[in-house]
């Protein structure tokens, strides 16, 4: 059996925005040559038919692939005997039932199928334990192969072999020598430790699937979905390994699901009520494994946007690893969800249904490609892989079989793993027409003028329709990254059925431009503050359909956004050619961390401005991990390949030199939660919101304006005045007159901590407020350059 070598590498699959589209049919991408490792030992099976079943026992040689095996185990003791019967075509996957296990898998174009059983010990020794050939007459219904077994499954795993035509130009990659993963497998096992090489330094050792048992149980302790209205969410994007891997986390299980559980109270303190987990489906972190001469370490796939299996949690994110054949890893993920819910925190998953780890025609054959390549991938007429993902292949999402697979997968994570929703990476791919797209395939009849071809955007994509109207899935959070690398950009236009939200990339770009003082963005900035009605109101959507963010995992961190004008990605080993070039960042006068005191003060002020903007905007705010204390990646805006401090949450920084900004962030999230007007269910109208300029009621939307201010009526706080001065010049503003009331400062980002946020526990708070009395008595307030403020209205007698 051929296995890939870790001495060759997979070139990085850098995620790009639509401004840098890739070719639709994949260029020649160099994947590692797959070297032959030790020959796979096999034992075929001898069967004796009875009336309704077969008793299968191991023997030497024989079987359907005896001629292809290069080594045969003759003295290894037999592990067990299995009672084999026809089985059932549903449900897909391995299912414990009726005292045994039913196996069912779809493959329309294979001519033969073999169920492979592999003991846990044999997996480590690269051996096949037993195999059962499926009879196409008795073990196949339609295009589904199936078999039912009774016997001893302790420490037993499984996979499949399929045979058929190997003809890439026709879209077929059948190879009966390869053991393939069941797409519906609930756990995938290969290596137990993150970053550890396989036998003989192999980066792609044989993988196998967990066989479920009747003893698979988890105590949910009465856990139920929190079902927060989406308008009330404050999302935190988190990487499971990076969150607790650094030694300063002080966790017992660093870099694992349990490590996240140990640090959940930090998120509670921050005011977060929703986690968005970066990919936790099974992936191979050694996919890019290669020596990085710049840093003297090895590159890995740290982010995980390269899925091997969609039902399995990432086993090497668990402290248990392969123990108990992956069941303990599943339970650790469940524990994370349960404990998050106990703290009032929902859990969303970042899912990657746009491509898989199998890459293009030079990639490994792991699962989908060897089972039915032309079904699972979007192919050109001569078998080439469309590359709308920028990562070598494109999942054929709107194929009937594939879209049902995706729905089944999402349902599993909601019903079995209790997750609260999903963020769909490069979701625009899910709106593209599938291979062999035609109206008959979807609607049952031709449509006049229907000229859609493979990959064409669909106005009513069947997959999005299925998810949106599914009785289970329509009740969870559904967030689209509404673009792909093929040039399709759907922010504001993603097919939504009234329930889909979007990562609002236009919010990010506009806010960055305005806060750094770029002309001609005041009007667009005001739209962002209102929840982007220019994008969502006409389509009948609401502010909460916009997920607002300034920073995310890809791109600059918040601290780097105000420290670097240019990306500094040399440490990725790609000559600084990877990553986004258009960052809309500003270094505040000097490039890099070593800067003058005045520049550092301005950077800190800008970080406050960005976070304040995020918290006072209508829509759903999302915070990127580490931004709450000012994490830096040294100007690297594409840290996909670093399993190091670059991507690790630095708890020593949060507790040490940067506690002031964390305090500010906590107070701002608390303020947002307390304000009824900052999470509206609809776009604000003139009855609630009024715009102002340097003078009340006179907003300046001119090309040169860098000032935006507004008042907001709030049923809890009364009236709130919020202003942003993105100019390099200070300004004294005139406040709206409110007879019988007086404005009082709450937030001023130009002030040092703790006076940047005048919470009730600030020492000598009243003295600090009185310092502004002579301005406030005249209904004025002085604002420094690049600063923002929040004022509250109080009755005169209480001022």
Q: What angle do the packed helices 505-515 and 522-529 form, to 10 degrees?
A: 130
Q: β-pairing, 346-351 with 274-277? A: parallel
| Pair 482, 506: CB distance under 8 Å | no
CB neighbour class for 471 (10 Å; exposed up to 12, middle 13-18, buried from 19) = exposed
DSSP 49-83: E-SS-EEEEE-SS-STTTTT-S-B-SSSPP---EE
Which amino acids are annotated catalytic? 425, 481
Residue 781 has, within 13 A of its CA and on its CB side, a CA count of 30
Helix (H) or strand (E) holding 596: none
Q: Is 498 left (phi over 0), alpha (psi -120 to 50) or beta?
A: left
Q: How far is it, in rounded angstroms, from Cα 55 to Cα 197? A: 38
Of 78, 129, 95, nearest to 211 by C-alpha is 95
Q: Tokens 């920073």, residue?
A: 551
Q: How far is it, in rounded angstroms, from Cα 106 to Cα 401? A: 9
Q: Which two tokens stand for residue 321?
A: 């690893």
Helix (H) or strand (E) holding 215: none
| Pair 660, 600: CB distance under 8 Å | no
Q: Which two tokens stand for residue 599?
A: 């520049």
Q: Which two tokens stand for residue 134?
A: 């499926």
Q: Which two tokens stand for residue 501?
A: 């939200």
The total of other beta-carbon atoms located within 10 Å of residue 459's CB is 8
Of 130, 185, 276, 200, nearest to 625 by C-alpha is 276
Q: How far is it, in rounded angstroms, from Cα 590 to Cα 605? A: 15
Of 796, 798, 792, nearest to 719 by C-alpha is 792
Helix-strand-coil split of the chain, %, nearest 5: 25, 20, 55
Give the distance between the most distant pair of CA atoms in the chain: 99
| 3-state class (DSSP) for residue 403 | helix
Q: Which two tokens stand for residue 396?
A: 């054929």
Any residues with CB less than 8 A from the CB of 780 and at least 6 apart, and which?
Answer: 732, 733, 734, 735
Q: How far is it, in rounded angstroms, from Cα 554 to Cα 281? A: 19
**β-bridge partners, 184:** none
Q: How far is it, in rounded angstroms, from Cα 617 to Cα 532? A: 9
């Amino acid at each position: 059996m051929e296995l890939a070598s870790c001495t060759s590498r997979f070139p990085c699959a850098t995620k790009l925005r639509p401004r840098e589209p890739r070719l639709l049919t994949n260029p020649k991408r160099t994947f590692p040559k797959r070297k032959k490792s030790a020959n796979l030992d096999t034992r075929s099976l001898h069967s004796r038919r009875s009336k309704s079943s077969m008793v299968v026992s191991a023997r030497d040689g024989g079987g359907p692939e005896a001629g292809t095996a290069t080594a045969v185990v003759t003295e290894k003791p037999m592990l067990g005997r299995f009672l084999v019967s026809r089985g059932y075509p549903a449900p897909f996957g391995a299912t414990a039932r009726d005292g045994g296990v039913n196996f069912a898998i779809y493959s329309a174009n294979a001519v033969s199928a073999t169920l492979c059983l592999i003991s846990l010990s044999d997996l480590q020794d690269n051996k096949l334990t037993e195999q059962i050939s499926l009879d196409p007459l008795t073990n196949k219904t339609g295009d589904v192969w199936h078999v039912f077994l009774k016997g001893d499954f302790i420490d037993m795993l499984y996979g499949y072999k399929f045979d058929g035509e190997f003809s890439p130009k026709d879209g077929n990659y059948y190879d009966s020598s390869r053991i393939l993963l069941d797409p519906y497998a609930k756990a995938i096992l290969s290596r137990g430790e993150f970053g550890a090489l396989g036998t003989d330094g192999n980066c792609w050792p044989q993988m196998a699937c967990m066989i479920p048992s009747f003893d698979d149980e988890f105590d949910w302790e009465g856990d139920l979905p929190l079902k927060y209205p989406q308008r009330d969410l404050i999302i935190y994007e988190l990487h499971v390994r990076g969150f607790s891997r650094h030694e300063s986390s002080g966790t017992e299980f660093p870099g694992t699901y349990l490590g996240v559980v140990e640090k959940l109270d930090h998120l509670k303190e921050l005011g977060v009520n929703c986690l968005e987990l970066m990919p936790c489906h099974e992936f191979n972190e050694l996919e890019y494994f290669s020596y990085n001469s710049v840093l003297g370490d090895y590159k890995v796939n740290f982010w995980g946007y390269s899925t091997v299996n969609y039902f399995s949690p990432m086993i090497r994110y668990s402290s248990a690893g392969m123990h108990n054949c992956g069941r303990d890893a599943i339970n650790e993920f469940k524990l994370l969800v349960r404990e998050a819910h106990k703290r009032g925190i929902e859990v969303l998953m970042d899912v990657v249904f746009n491509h898989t780890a199998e890459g293009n025609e030079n990639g490994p054959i792991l699962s989908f490609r060897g089972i039915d390549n032309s079904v699972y991938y979007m192919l050109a007429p001569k078998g080439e892989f469309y590359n709308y993902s920028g990562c070598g292949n494109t999942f054929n999402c709107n194929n009937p079989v594939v879209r049902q697979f995706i729905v089944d997968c999402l349902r599993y994570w909601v019903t079995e793993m209790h997750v609260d929703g999903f963020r769909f990476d490069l979701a625009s791919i899910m709106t593209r027409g599938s291979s062999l797209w035609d109206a008959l395939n979807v609607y049952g009849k031709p449509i006049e003028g229907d000229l859609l071809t493979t990959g064409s955007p669909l106005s009513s994509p069947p997959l999005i329709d299925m998810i949106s109207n599914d009785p289970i899935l329509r009740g969870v959070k559904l967030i689209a990254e509404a673009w792909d690398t093929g040039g399709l950009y759907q922010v504001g236009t993603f097919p939504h059925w009234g329930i889909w939200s979007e990562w609002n990339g236009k919010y990010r770009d506009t806010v960055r431009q305005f806060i750094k003082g770029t002309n001609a963005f005041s009007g667009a900035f005001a739209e962002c503050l209102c929840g982007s009605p220019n994008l969502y109101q006409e389509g009948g959507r609401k502010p909460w359909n916009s997920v607002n963010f300034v920073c995310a995992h890809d791109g600059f961190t918040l601290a780097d956004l105000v420290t670097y004008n240019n990306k500094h990605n040399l440490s990725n080993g790609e000559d600084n050619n990877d990553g986004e070039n258009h960052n809309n960042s500003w270094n505040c006068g000097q490039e890099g961390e070593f800067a003058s005191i005045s520049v550092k003060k301005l950077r800190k002020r800008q970080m406050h401005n960005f976070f304040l903007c995020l918290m006072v905007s209508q829509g759903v705010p999302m915070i990127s991990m580490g931004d709450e204390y000012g994490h830096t990646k040294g100007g690297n805006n594409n840290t996909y390949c670093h399993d190091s401090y670059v991507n690790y949450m630095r708890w020593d920084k949060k507790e040490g030199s940067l506690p002031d900004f964390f305090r500010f962030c906590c107070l701002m999230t608390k303020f947002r939660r307390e304000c009824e007007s900052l999470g509206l269910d609809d776009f604000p109208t003139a009855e609630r919101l009024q715009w102002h300029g340097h003078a009340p009621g006179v907003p300046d939307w001119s090309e040169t304006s860098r000032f935006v201010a507004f008042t907001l009526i709030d049923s809890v706080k009364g009236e709130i005045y919020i202003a942003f001065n993105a100019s390099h010049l200070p300004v004294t503003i005139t406040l709206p007159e409110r007879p019988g009331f007086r404005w009082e400062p709450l937030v001023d980002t130009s002030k040092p901590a703790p006076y940047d946020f005048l919470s009730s526990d600030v020492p000598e708070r009243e003295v600090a407020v009185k310092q502004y009395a002579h301005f406030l008595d005249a209904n004025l307030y002085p604002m420094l350059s690049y600063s923002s403020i929040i004022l509250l209205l109080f009755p005169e007698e209480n001022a």
